[in-house]
A and B are shown apart, each in its own frame.
Chain A
Amino acid sequence: MSRFDGPSSFRPALRAGARFSREAKDRPILTFESVYKSYRSGSPVLRGVHLTIERGEFVFVTGSSGAGKSTLLRLLYRSETVDDGRILFLGKDIARLKDDAIPFLRRNIGVVFQDFKLVPAWSVYENVAVALEVLGLPARLIRTRVGEALERVGLAGRGNDLAGVLSGGEQQRVATARAIVGEPALILADEPTGNLDPQLAIDILGLFEEVHEAGTTVVFATHDRTLLEVRPRRVVVLDEGKALDVPQGITIESDDHYRLPN
């Protein structure tokens, strides 16, 4: 059984002295309870979002530009804090985490961005290995695991290349390798295909599906409707600050309308 073989192998990264609660295994990985968030008074981006995501799910989060997709994800990795409500990650309220606990939350979450967020002057290897270096793992183990991650994203043997000279698709693969190398419980993808052509976008989506098949929960934010049609999965539509949950997926009727299943 490989380390990617499914939810049962999951153990979160914990702070020194913290104990892993076995009950956490049975809880939903994410629960949003009446979450409010606004950047300007009077115009909240999220208005009482309720949502539950179980472990091992693949969920698309969609909505028009400014609907709050990125905000939702930023709240998850505590780049932002909620104004009201609770977000529970394995039963723990993310908003109540102290500053020194945030790194340990992030070690359980892999994040992939539209703009890749790679260090251009670093090699592919260095960009991926950084996620393990922060854990203080031995160099030999880091080498092995980075090699495996690069192989999974189709970049085996490219470790010495500078990240800055790679194509967009390759850079997104490096970012994905960095997100999965630490075996996080949850992967957040914030418009990861936004800068890629349609075929590459489908390839990258396939990559996330492979990661998901290995047991990782994936929350994939996109406004690319074709991706939603290509893979009919659970979709959360953000509209006017509310989350509309569509478990069977949606189809696109026209440029402006989603058709929800009956």
Chain B
Amino acid sequence: MISLSTALRARRGMMREWRLHALSIFSLAVAFVCLGASLLVVTNLRALEDRWAHAGRASVYLKDNASAEDIESVKQALLKVSGVKQVRYVSGQQARLDFGANQQERASSLAALPAEAFPSTLEVDVVPEMTDTELSDMAAKLQKVPSVEDVETYRAWTERLSRLISGGVAASALLALVVLGAVLAVVGSTIRLALQRRRTEVEVLKLVGATDGFVKGPYILEGSVQGAMGAVGATGLLAALFTIVRGRLDGEFVTLLGLQPQFLPWYAVVGLVCSGALLGAFAAMGSLRKLVLV
């Protein structure tokens, strides 16, 4: 339990050596920015994976020689499958037009592409609850239909994205270890330096009968505040950078990925700050283990 006296003494110590503490907080903020950035990437990749995994759609690519009757029979058969919401026929010409609407500056290049580049498709919307297995089964059956060239369930993309996320999580874990080391080193050094500078203070406290807890309390609190402020600073910096980047590239993100990038959820921010505070406190405790007894 932090007493008022501990908090006041910690505040007094930090105010008197604000330069030392500011430098420490800045160093911690840099470390936390790296961790926060990797978390931000992982968070958005997860959102993308989630969106794609529950996109609830499949594209049935039709052969060039598929007749209108064949297409209609496939469409009707699909509509009878449990979980299929809607089936929409998109001709090759329509597909070219749709794509061209999003890539206006490349309209001339698109015009040069052959007709086979935009095959006719049946765009199938399914309910989000439809499992991967059910979708795969449906795709397998469709591929046996003579007028169907191929079926894209976008599962391969989801799997690739999952692998990318796993890599991102591993990288984040590695960065978390680096941050852990950085916090321990920076806070530990700062506290040891502060202790050295306040040696007389510690000596006086011990002489007048202060317990170890009373002497160490403010230093542990200072370490904790440094860690938390480093994390808060990093989150603020990351939020500012995120706002700038999103302001400039928001449209491109939506076009490419189909979703707006999101900042870290509140619980991740709270977790980051709490981790900073805890790590700072532990680092301070570690550096005070050999507190000189008077």
Tell me how many residues of A have a C-beta within 8 Å of chain B.
26
5 smallest CB-CB distances across A and B, nearest first, come from: A107-B209, A106-B209, A131-B208, A134-B210, A103-B209
| Chain B hits for A127, CB < 8 A | 204
Q: A100 near B211 (CB under 8 angstroms)?
A: yes
A2–chain B nearest beta-carbon distance, Å:
22
Please tell me if B98 contacts chain A, counting CB pairs below 8 Å: no
* Among listed A115-123, A233-241, A243-251, interface-contacting one: A115-123
Known: A79-B294, A133-B5, A134-B214. A117 touches B209 (CB 8 A): no
| Chain A hits for B293, CB < 8 A | 99
Closest chain B residue to A132, Cβ basis: B208
Among A167-210, those with CB < 8 Å from B are: 178, 182
A262–chain B nearest beta-carbon distance, Å:
41
Q: B211 near A117 (CB under 8 angstroms)?
A: no
Specify which of A13, A120, A136 is in contact with B5 (CB 8 Å cutoff).
A136
| 0 or 1 for each of A123-135: is its CB under 8 Å from B? (1 = yes) | 0000100110111
Q: B207 near A77 (CB under 8 angstroms)?
A: yes
Q: A118 near B204 (CB under 8 angstroms)?
A: yes
| Chain B hits for A118, CB < 8 A | 200, 204
Q: B200 near A117 (CB under 8 angstroms)?
A: yes
Q: B207 near A117 (CB under 8 angstroms)?
A: yes
Q: B204 near A134 (CB under 8 angstroms)?
A: no
| 0 or 1 for each of A119-159: is its CB under 8 Å from B? (1 = yes) | 11110000100110111100000000000000000000000
Among B169-214, those with CB < 8 Å from A are: 198, 200-201, 203-212, 214
Most chain A CB inside 10 Å of its own CB: which residue of B204, B205, B294? B204
| Chain B hits for A104, CB < 8 A | 209
**How many CB-defined contacts (below 8 Å) exist between A and B?**
53
Q: B204 near A13 (CB under 8 angstroms)?
A: no
B82–chain A nearest beta-carbon distance, Å:
72
Please tell me if B16 contacts chain A, counting CB pairs below 8 Å: yes
Among B42-83, those with CB < 8 Å from A are: none
Specify which of A77, A107, A119, A182 is in contact with B204 (CB 8 Å cutoff).
A119
CA distance A254 to B209 in the complex (A): 41
Closest chain A residue to B17, Cβ basis: A121
Among B1-18, those with CB < 8 Å from A are: 3, 5, 16
CA distance A133 to B9 in the complex (A): 11
| Chain A hits for B212, CB < 8 A | 100
| Chain B hits for A120, CB < 8 A | 200
| Chain A hits for B211, CB < 8 A | 100, 103, 134
Specify which of B3, B198, B208, B294 is in contact with A130 (CB 8 Å cutoff).
B208
Q: A111 near B207 (CB under 8 angstroms)?
A: yes
| 0 or 1 for each of A11-32: is its CB under 8 Å from B? (1 = yes) | 0010000000000000000000
A243–chain B nearest beta-carbon distance, Å:
24
Specify which of A99, A119, A134 is in contact with B209 (CB 8 Å cutoff).
A134
Interface of B is mostly: helix
| Chain B hits for A99, CB < 8 A | 293
| Chain A hits for B203, CB < 8 A | 117
CA distance A131 to B204 in the complex (A): 9
| Chain A hits for B214, CB < 8 A | 103, 134
Closest chain B residue to A122, Cβ basis: B201
| Chain B hits for A119, CB < 8 A | 198, 200-201, 204
CA distance A122 to B16 in the complex (A): 10
A154–chain B nearest beta-carbon distance, Å:
21
B234–chain A nearest beta-carbon distance, Å:
31
A100-B212, A134-B209, A182-B209 given; name 16 further pairs at CB < 8 Å: A79-B294, A106-B206, A117-B203, A117-B204, A117-B207, A118-B204, A119-B198, A119-B200, A119-B201, A120-B200, A121-B16, A134-B205, A134-B208, A134-B210, A136-B5, A182-B208
| Chain A hits for B200, CB < 8 A | 117-120
B100–chain A nearest beta-carbon distance, Å:
73
Q: A107 near B5 (CB under 8 angstroms)?
A: no
| 0 or 1 for each of A73-104: is its CB under 8 Å from B? (1 = yes) | 00001010000000000000000000110011
Among A39-86, those with CB < 8 Å from B are: 77, 79
| Chain A hits for B16, CB < 8 A | 121
| Chain A hits for B204, CB < 8 A | 117-119, 127, 130
B209–chain A nearest beta-carbon distance, Å:
4
CA distance A80 to B205 in the complex (A): 17
Give 21 pairs: A residue, B residue, CB < 8 Å, sorted on A.
Answer: A77-B207, A99-B293, A104-B209, A106-B208, A106-B209, A111-B207, A117-B200, A117-B204, A118-B204, A120-B200, A121-B16, A130-B205, A130-B210, A134-B208, A134-B209, A134-B210, A134-B211, A134-B214, A135-B209, A136-B3, A182-B209
Q: A106 near B5 (CB under 8 angstroms)?
A: no
CA distance A75 to B170 in the complex (A): 57
CA distance A77 to B206 in the complex (A): 10
CA distance A79 to B292 in the complex (A): 11
